[in-house]
Structure 1
Amino acid sequence: MRKFSSALLMLPLLLVTACNPAPDKQNDQPGVVTNILDQTLPNMEAAPANGITPVEATPAVKAPPPAAAPDGLIPTAMQGRWAGAAERCGDKTAALELTVMPDQLLFHESVGTVKQVTQDADGRAAVEAAFTGEGQSWTRTLALTLSKDGKALTVVNDGTAVTRKRC
């Protein structure tokens, strides 16, 4: 029994020794890379501290001018997230929060699905939308006017104008 238990204790040592080749036999296989970092980073001394080396100059890309939305959709320049002038952007509980999408108006407590959009020559848009919210449904036409700098959107609803800032 003693021989068996000592043999059992030696088994892990034999397995580790059998799995690890002798140091002089590790490089017997041509084309096998033993240290990948040596092959992928040829000049570690020249690399910047963050490890990113630019390969070529960044190409100059001109952004296309904002396109007008197709008929029946809210103009691209008016789309985005908006909040009341005194509200914080990103506050989902803000009463004046508004997200303008090409085919929807997402207010704090209602959603308007765009039915028709009519644009004036001076950039104002009349948006007819079918709204749902708080268990009710209604149709309303809102007048949207974007400021010249694109940072403010005025929404006129039933004769009341509310100006929001772009987030």
Structure 2
Amino acid sequence: MLSVAVPSKMASSLQAMRQVMQYISKTKGFDRLMDKVQVVSAAPGKCVFEMKVGEEHLNGGFTLHGGLTATLVDVLTTATLLSMEGGKPGVSVDLHVSYLKAAKPGETITIAADILKMGRTLAYTTAQVKNEKGDVVAQGLHTKHVGN
């Protein structure tokens, strides 16, 4: 489970989210794939990220790999949970991604992650991935167990 010290309340949400993403991208695990993701904006329960699609992100058809897209939804909605007061990363219960359009190499994609509802034990999140033209590339729903 992710163990990261969230900065004091004096630090802005944007600074705090940048620290979270820096921590995530420095791990030795799979999440290190987030090293190319930049934080654009952050507020409690609502964060926006962007990433330039590089060669290392492509599938055999030379477009953004679906597995990476699902990972972006997973990791970035989890990071957004940490933007909430007392937010915890939790454990995934359900992850659903709809793929609507291909993202091509060299394009910068934007990922907007939102907390739909955070209850005592479950958190419901969403992420929308868009290309530079504003077309929706993918839409994700992610449910996490955040309770005891």
TM class by shorter chain equals 0.3 to 0.5
TM-score (norm 1): 0.30
Larger C-alpha radius of gyration, 1 or 2?
Answer: 1
TM-score (norm 2): 0.32
Q: Using CA pairs below 8 Å that are at least 6 residues apart, which structure has the higher relative contact order?
A: 2
Which is richer in helix? Answer: 2
